[in-house]
Amino acid sequence: MNSPPGVTRATLVKDLRLEWRSKDAINSMLFFALLVVVIFSFSFDPTAEESRRIAGGLVWVAFLFAAVVALNQTWARELRNQVLDAYRVSPARANSLFLAKVTGNFIFVSVLEALMTPLFVVFYNLRAIGPAYQLLFVAVLGTWALVVNGTFFAAMSIRTRSREIMLPLLLFPITIPALLAMVEATSSILTGEFSARFWIVLLAVYDVVFTTGCLLFFEIVLHGE
């Protein structure tokens, strides 16, 4: 029969191919992210010392906003011509679709972060005093936290009347602990004042808890109506 990993891979390849052909999500996301970086650097023009303290917050809030733009696009494509119904009448598992979408968004948002980070470094003259390699863990775990919940709540919000505006309203309150962890971990590493270990562990726990929770409930959301 249809193996779940096979369906996930096919869906991921299909999404990447569609994105490659239309480039709607990545273009709008990139430009939006660039705007956020520029506006932030106008609004906050700190000294090197201060910028280390606030950069964690700035960077992650910028990533969060940019990610919301990308996440809203995820399901928009499935709604055109109601293609999602074709998935729903098939025997393929709901979670295969979810994992494909999460992986796809993880790739998009990671690309975005990789492009935005150098801009932040340039505008704010950032240099980490603490162990910089830990930033990689923070980035991966933090991005996963944003993307796993974001994909889930985007699937929920496309079913509502006010679609696009609903996603941040659902996503932000639930993401508060993860966001706090990302910001604090990044600031701790940049300033070198504290160890970021607790925050990285918290992020890992958050990822495990919410990945499990989303996988548990996604079928209900997809086949809800």
Partner 1 sequence: MKRAFPIFAILTAGLLSYGLYGALIQAPTEQTMGDVQRIFYYHVPSAWTAFCLFFVNLVASIVYLVRRSPKVDALALASAEVGVVFCTVVLVTGPIWARPVWGIWWTWDLRLTLTLVLWLIYVSYLMLRRFSSSGQTPVMAAVLAALGALDVPLVYFSIWFFRTQHPQPVIGGGGSIDPRMLHVLLMNWLAFMCFAALVCWSRYRLEILRRQVEETQALESLLAGGSSR
Partner 2 sequence: MTDSPIIAVNGLVKQFGRFAALRGVTASFEAGRLYAILGDNGAGKTTLLRVLAGLTPATRGSIAVLGATNLREVCAHLGYMAHPSLLYDEMSGMENLRYFARLYGIQDDARCQAVIRSVNLDPSLALPVGQYSQGMRQRMSLARALLNDPRILLLDEPFSNVDVRSAREMAGLLGQLRDSGKTILVVTHQAALLREVADEFVWMEAGQIVSRTREFQPEEAK
Binding site for partner 1 (CB under 8 A): 152, 156, 159-162, 166, 169-170, 172-174, 176-178, 180-181, 184, 188, 194, 198-199, 202, 205-206, 209-210, 213-214, 217, 220-221, 224-225
3-state secondary structure of 225: coil
Nearest by Cα to 220 from 159, 140, 171: 159
Asked if residues 102 and 147 have their Cβ atoms less than 8 Å apart, the reply is yes
Q: List binders of partner 2 among 89-128 (CB under 8 A).
A: 89-92
CB of 82 to partner 2, least distance (A): 4
Site string for partner 2, 8-37 (x = CB under 8 A): --xx--x--xx--xx---------------
Asked if residues 55 and 120 have their Cβ atoms less than 8 Å apart, the reply is yes
33, 55, 114 from 63: Cα distances, Å: 7, 12, 11
**220 is a contact residue toward partner 2 (CB under 8 A):** no
Nearest by Cα to 51 from 196, 216, 191, 194: 191
**136 is a contact residue toward partner 2 (CB under 8 A):** no
Rounded to the nearest 5°, which phi and psi values hold at 128?
Answer: -80, 135
CB of 46 to partner 1, least distance (A): 19
Which residue in 43, 47, 49, 80 binds partner 2 (CB under 8 A)? 80
Q: In one letter, which amino acid is 43?
A: S
Closer of 74 and 175 to partner 1 (Cβ): 175
Closer of 138 and 178 to partner 1 (Cβ): 178
Asked if residues 182 and 206 have their Cβ atoms less than 8 Å apart, the reply is no
The separation between CA 56 and the C-alpha centre of its own chain, rounded to angstroms, equals 16
Asked if residues 129 and 191 have their Cβ atoms less than 8 Å apart, the reply is yes
Which residue in 27, 85, 208, 216 binds partner 2 (CB under 8 A)? 85
Asked if residues 77 and 18 have their Cβ atoms less than 8 Å apart, the reply is yes
Which residue in 44, 77, 156, 213 binds partner 2 (CB under 8 A)? 77
Q: Contact positions toward partner 2, by CB under 8 A?
A: 1-3, 6-7, 10-11, 14, 17-18, 21-22, 77, 80-83, 85-92, 223, 225
